[in-house]
Amino acid sequence: MNRSSLSILVVEDHATIARQIVEFLDGLKWQADHAANGALAIELATREVYDVVLLDLNLPDMDGLEVCRAIKARAPRNLPVLMLTARDAFEDKARGFSEGADDYLTKPFDLRELALRCEALARRGQLHLDQEMRVGPLTLLLREKRAVYNDVPVALTQAGFKILLAMCGAYPQAVSRSALLHALWGAEPPDSDALKSHVYALRKQLEQVGAPKMIVTIPQLGYRLALDV
């Protein structure tokens, strides 16, 4: 079966189940990121662009319903959430939907059905997809992975776009260095101070379109956008 490529966030603390889901999605040529706890799931969902979140309810650091509420409140666009759980009582499902879930699949489940539900949710999400993220004069075109400042295109590298996306998602708060490192390189950041080089290059690219001093360094923390919104 031919399927368009989707980007999926798998939130599951059971290593074997997570591996099975990720390997299956990889076999479909989909992009799958994995979060084993709620805090990382919220961080990724509010920073990256996903088509669907697969959310287990039993997580080690917080209840999945709490994670669902946070994702729905903080994600830069309407992000479909498919809850995965062994809780099969009607009351559990009702509570899941009331907390913002878009679909519900009880364990154990057929991975082929999981893929079909992801496709259905992604199509539904496309109908409401916010193609842009606006922060003052800065606009990020999420699907095209481009940026525009006061209607002037910004010549960005892939790394530069990811950095801007993270900072726009956090604005007006700062983004930590560790969060940016994970956004660029996942769990295996380079040994060199490559992040500093990418931020320097991004500053230069923004200066070329008339946006000097947009990125402010926060000592011992990271960076934030300085915009008059």
52-90 residue pLDDT tens: 999 998 899 999 999 998 888 777 667 899 999 887 778
Q: How far apart are CA 175 and CA 187, in angstroms?
A: 17
User: Do the domain assignments include residue 99?
Assistant: yes
Residue 90 shares a structural domain with residue 157: no
Residue 2 has pLDDT above 50, yes or no: no
Residues 117 and 25 in one domain: yes
Whether residue 191 is predicted with pLDDT greater than 60 in this model: the reply is: yes
Domain count, the chain: 2
Query: What is the mean predicted confidence (pLDDT) over 210-227?
Result: 89
In this prediction, residue 97 carries a pLDDT of: 84
Please list, in sequence order, all residues whose beta carbon lies within 8 angstroms of the beta carbon of residue 164, skipping any fewer than 6 positions away.
Answer: 138, 140, 147, 156, 202
What pLDDT does 4 receive? Answer: 62
Listed range (96-110, 178-192, 208-222) with the worst mean pLDDT: 178-192
* 81 and 192 within one domain: no
Of 33-47, 72-86, 104-118, 140-154, give the lowest mean pLDDT range.
Answer: 72-86
Closest to 166 in 3D by CA, of 66, 60, 56, 46: 46
Structural domain range at position 70: 7-127
Domain match, 48 and 115 both: yes
Question: Could you tell me the CATH number of the domain that includes residue 191?
Answer: 1.10.10.10
142 and 94 fall within a common domain: no
What CA–CA distance (Å, rounded) separates 130 from 221? 30
Residues 11, 122 within the same domain:
yes
Is the pLDDT at 107 greater than 80? The verdict is yes
Confidence band of 229 (pLDDT split at 50, 70, 90): very low
Which residues does residue 81 pair with via DSSP β-bridges, in sequence order? 53
Residue 81, SS3 per DSSP: strand
Rounded to whole angstroms, what are the CA distances from 129 to 23, 34, 52, 141, 158? 27, 23, 12, 12, 22
pLDDT band at 91 (very low <50, low <70, confident <90, very high): confident
- Which of 94, 127, 160 is at the close of a domain? 127
Domain boundary (127, 142, 168) is at 127
Q: Are 20 and 64 part of one and the same domain? A: yes
